[in-house]
A and B are shown apart, each in its own frame.
Chain A
Amino acid sequence: MYALIKREIQDHIVYFIGAAAFSAVFIIISISLIHRYNPKEPPVFSIGLGVPAVTIVIFGICAMGATQMYLDRTRKISALLSTLAVSRSRILLARIITGILAILILLVPQTIAAGILVRVFTPHIPMFPGMVFEISVVVFLMAFACYCIGLQTGWNSSALTPSLGALFLTCIFIPLILIKGFGVHIVVILVLFIVASLLRTWHTFMTTSL
């Protein structure tokens, strides 16, 4: 399994570099924003800057899922690996773990930085109880759900369908955050969506002939 994950990381190293770079950029933006902090005003500027940036990142994560499946489909990677002592389920599992790793590389440093900044710079009263945690969880789930969309649309031999399909479906899906916010409702919907998407991807991947 470790070898499979390592192989997936090597194949998609550009996404990992991008995730690390974006993470650093977001931390710098957060530090600069905290200086403008005013507890009486909602962080409209932060939201205005954060939403498009998060959108770009989420599109990137979706593209990663689509690329992984598209390359497998066109280059018959899993067909080749299946001739070795590797099952297809393990190949897909390694792929999904790789996707989660990329998302975590992007989000974990930001979450830690945001937690520290809120603790240091905001007043010592429970101003925003659990906000950093709630937002981080939702952003992680949203990123993973979009990655799952990429996995579903990428399993196609045409180059156009995965690109446009993933883009279109992600455009529809991301505004779910606007509709539902960062509360419990969106967590439930995202978890169900992820489970359904993984089941569908799994079924498609396992039943497609080599």
Chain B
Amino acid sequence: MKPLIKGLALNYPVKVFATGFVVLTLLSISLFWFRYICQMSLSVKMPGDAKDIRIEPSGLVPPELENDPNVVSHSRVFASMQPEEKGPLSLGIFDYFITRFPGGRRSPGGHRSNVYFFESDRDCMYFDKKSGQIVHLYTKKQTMLDITTSLKMIQLYVGPEGVSETQDKTLGRFIGPIIDHGWLERRWIDLREGGLSELILYDKKLRCFFKIDFNQRTVVKGPKLGKNDRRHEPIQIGLLDKTAFELSYLNWTPPRIRIPDEDPNKTGYSTAKLKPIIPTDYDCDAGPYLLVLDETGRIDLLDKETLEFVKRTPEFPGVAGRLPGPETYFGPKDSVTPRELLDYKVWPLALTTCFFENPEEVRVTFGDPSYFFKRAPARVERKYLGMFAASLSRDGTALALAVFDEKGKRIKESNTRLTKYEGGHTTQVQSSKAFFFGAPWSPTLTIGKYLTENLHPPILSVASYFTASAFEAASGHRALFFLPNSFIAIKAGDRGENIAERFMSALCWILPSIILAIWLACRVSKDAVVVGLSENARAYWIIGTLAFGLTAYITYRLTRPKITLVTCPNCGKMRRPDMVKCHRCKSDWHVPELIPPVWRVLKGTEKVHEGSTADAEEAVVE
């Protein structure tokens, strides 16, 4: 250990790098809070009109229902964003706890399984990594012989090979299971009805879908996706929703008809109530299919019976749709991946036709019919109508909403916009622009955010430009060193220009940073000459300051040699006393030659030789 320590003690570059990292960390944390305050203030001030999108009629309801003469309010789909909510949620400490609490994160990010549900000790579900099995505890109502009811607690272990009441190796092992969180939301109704519906599960590692029947205690295994089949990489199934928190909101309303109020004396809207034209279940249900979100942002349809993806046919392209790309500050993006979105929500729509024993009795509902009819229908036909998909941009400033029909064709699309009324005519401004400039004081806050970004090291800003898409959208909000939500990084997503043009215009966004770095590099260069750093050291410092800007300058000030300078007798400038030559004029030290005096102090009378005084005087003159 000793030689290392001795070596380090003498190693000036080590001290510089160590100090540089300390400075970079402390400066980055300070700048983070400045950016955070600006961003939060902008979110709070964002005009309300720029947060919502509405599409009416929704486009998925069959014409006979949509155009029914009794309809007073057409079907509509409504999406909204709450950018002010993302502030606290984007902080890492909240994200840490949210991801660890049951139901906190629906989209399985990283290594964590989303098989995680907890109501009580008697009503929960989790994935036991040790055994590789899913443990499910629930309470079932059972009728006794004397017609009284009692609650029975059931604990089941589920593996790829079956379901059992005891943990058994023969059940096999799941490795990376993900489940439909919509099933978790529906299960309390299922339990009330007396049994649980089938749960569909996908194992990322086994690359296979499974159907679990808790009532029959069976597991059906679907066909295995090929290992080389890179076309399918499912990351979420069923309820497609990135977070349980309302960063964005998606809602669908069916066509509604008027029901006259009992009190005819009331006027206005209160004289009538509106109700859906047919019974409507507001749970997200794709009828005979299950939505499967791929890591590319594509949404596939899985047949619930066969556990196979719906095949491509001349009528159906094989894809239910894809997550729409929101319009960012620098324009729209054609395709986005779930990682690039702060939030997304998908709402499938299905039409159910129930045939009862009486052939004339046919009832049509939206969604699952089991909630509406006490009698079980003789036959049920379920038809998938299409889906609505909403995406919130990485920086949380724009929301896109798209409607896909049953063939996966995008039939309607809209983006959040602010409508401005100026001089008798209206103009539409995209919401990300309204976010930065649409409210009073917003331009000031935007400039504050921009200038703070420009205090960041230029090299890290450029690195942010190249790495922006590699960061998960939510984690980008708590980034310290690389800034995926900075203006230069957002510019990287602009597809309107070619690569060179885009990079050059991105550099313009950090022009103040570059100018600051050049100015600081000049100051460092001048000071390095004064303190007598070598040519090489000076060059390294200039390069370092150009790359790291303010961070490098503070590091330089903290690590520059602290030596008291003296005046050089040759050039008159300040020079270092610890160097043989003056670092300004390269002259040696002019040390007068020490000549011993010729006189001596003797015990007796002092004797002075002739000429000795003259010798001494000459020596002084030299």
Contact = CB atoms under 8 A, between A and B. Distances in A.
A132 to B, nearest CB: 11
Contact of B124 (A47, A125, A129, A177): A125
Given A192-B21, A193-B21, A182 B128 contact: no
B30 A203 contact: no
B93 to A, nearest CB: 5
A206 interface: yes
Report, as a range, how many residues of chain A touch the other chain.
Answer: 35 or more
Contacts of B126: 125-126
A197 B22 contact: yes
B100 interface: yes
B17 to A, nearest CB: 7
A123 B124 contact: yes
A173 interface: yes
B233 interface: no
B5 A89 contact: yes
B32 A179 contact: yes
A39 B19 contact: no
B77 to A, nearest CB: 31
B95 A181 contact: yes
Interface string B55-97: 0000000000000000000000000000000000001111111
Given A89-B5, A126-B128, A207-B9, A177 B93 contact: yes
Interface SS of chain A: helix
A203 B18 contact: yes
Contact of B100 (A123, A128, A173): A128
Contact of B118 (A125, A186, A193, A196): A125
Interface of B: 2, 5-6, 8-11, 14-15, 17-19, 21-22, 25-26, 29-30, 32-33, 91-98, 100-102, 118-119, 121, 124, 126, 128-129, 135, 478, 480
A123 B10 CA distance: 56
Contacts of A206: 5, 9
Nearest to A205: B9
A152 B9 CA distance: 15
Contact of B26 (A40, A172, A178): A172
A193 B96 contact: no
A200 B135 contact: no
12 contacts: A40-B119, A89-B9, A169-B26, A176-B29, A179-B93, A179-B478, A183-B96, A189-B480, A196-B21, A202-B5, A203-B9, A207-B10
Nearest to A177: B93
Interface SS of chain B: helix
A185 interface: yes
A47 B94 CA distance: 10
A182 B99 CA distance: 12
Contacts of B8: 199, 202-203
Nearest to A192: B21
A80 B478 CA distance: 47
Interface in A151-204: 152, 169, 172-173, 175-183, 185-186, 189, 192-193, 195-197, 199-200, 202-204
Contacts of B5: 89, 202, 206
Given A125-B124, A175-B33, A203 B2 contact: no
Contacts of B18: 195-197, 199-200, 203
A192 B96 CA distance: 21
A152 B558 CA distance: 12
Contacts of B101: 42
A39 B91 CA distance: 22
A179 B480 contact: yes
A67 to B, nearest CB: 20
Contacts of A202: 5, 8-9
Nearest to B137: A125
Contacts of B119: 40
B11 to A, nearest CB: 8
A89 B93 contact: no
A172 B30 contact: yes
A96 to B, nearest CB: 12
A175 B29 contact: yes
A131 interface: yes
Contact of B92 (A127, A179, A200): A179
B100 A178 contact: no
Contacts of B26: 169, 172-173
Contacts of B14: 199, 203
Given A172-B26, A179-B480, 11 more contacts: A125-B126, A126-B126, A169-B26, A178-B93, A180-B93, A180-B478, A181-B96, A189-B25, A200-B15, A204-B15, A206-B5
A186 B30 contact: no
Contacts of B118: 39-40, 123, 125, 127
A127 B121 CA distance: 11
Contacts of B25: 173, 189, 192-193, 196
A178 B15 contact: no
A140 to B, nearest CB: 16
B85 to A, nearest CB: 15
Interface in A88-131: 89, 123-129, 131
A124 B118 CA distance: 12
A193 B22 contact: yes
B340 to A, nearest CB: 19
Nearest to B91: A178
B1 to A, nearest CB: 8
A152 B99 CA distance: 36
A113 B119 CA distance: 26
A105 to B, nearest CB: 25
Contacts of A193: 21-22, 25
Contacts of A189: 25, 480
A127 B116 CA distance: 9
Given A127-B118, A202-B9, A196 B480 contact: no
Nearest to A201: B18
A129 B22 CA distance: 32
Contacts of A203: 8-9, 11, 14-15, 18
B29 A200 contact: no
Contacts of A39: 102, 118
Interface string A65-92: 0000000000000000000000001000
Contacts of B98: 42
A197 to B, nearest CB: 6
